[in-house]
Amino acid sequence: MNMSRTSWRRAALAALLVVLGLGGVRSSGAADIVLRVDGLACPFCAFGVEKKLLAVPAVEGIDVRMNEGKVILQLREGARLEVAALNAAVEDAGFTLRKVLIEDAVGTLSRDGSGELLLRCSEPPATFRLKLAGEGARLDAKAGSAVAVSGTVEEYEADPAPLVVTSLRPVGVAPGEVAP
């Protein structure tokens, strides 16, 4: 790769800002989206993944936590979250997306034609097919319920992406509280 002195300085400065935590922004939307990425070993790796992810239309900003292998996304308001696009960007940068962690995605439950439970979120705009962790797990929530869901996406090409639920609570009930 042939880089001019100016390009080299910009890349080095951007990488330094990422390492110091000054180059990204923490997600402030309704849901936190955290990518677990394998192979983030140096500032140039972090810069490469940041550059590719910022090219995804839904991504407005990122915070790369290189030593933790995490990338925290800030999404554009109203932009549709497409997990497959995040996976493609990480792969284009030369890395492996291990998991997409979603914390407190607020949405409404519905059922598709086959009876599977879906979560339709307004912010970020996305639909997830809900799956439960563990055999025999049950979900005692009704279609039409407004809920906050946390979970993990590990399959990226399906639409809607399957979200393995780690917690589900009615909107207005704080984590750890019991619903009335």
pLDDT, tens digit, 9 for 90 and up, residues 71-99: 999 988 888 888 899 999 999 999 999 99
Pick the more confident residue, 12 or 162.
Answer: 162
Does 175 have pLDDT greater than 80?
no
Q: Which domains does the chain have, with CATH numbers?
A: 23-102 (3.30.70.100), 104-170 (2.40.50)
Tokens of 165: 């639920």
Supply the pLDDT for residue 26. 30
Supply the pLDDT for residue 7. 42
Q: DSSP readout, the chain?
A: ----HHHHHHHHHHHHHHHHT-S-----SSSEEEEEEET--SHHHHHHHHHHHHTSTTEEEEEEEGGGTEEEEEEPTTPPP-HHHHHHHHHHTT-EEEEEEEEEEEEEEEE-TT--EEEEEETTEEEEEEEESSTT------TT-EEEEEEEE---SSSSEEEEEEEEEETT--TTPPP-
- Whether the pTM exceeds 0.75: the reply is no
pLDDT band at 135 (very low <50, low <70, confident <90, very high): low
What does the pLDDT look like over 39-67, one tens digit per residue?
A: 888 899 899 999 999 999 999 999 999 88
Supply the pLDDT for residue 25. 30
Supply the pLDDT for residue 20. 32
What does the pLDDT look like over 4-45, one tens digit per residue?
A: 444 444 443 333 333 333 333 333 334 789 999 998 888 998
Supply the pLDDT for residue 103. 87
Supply the pLDDT for residue 139. 65
CB 148 within 8 A of CB 104: yes
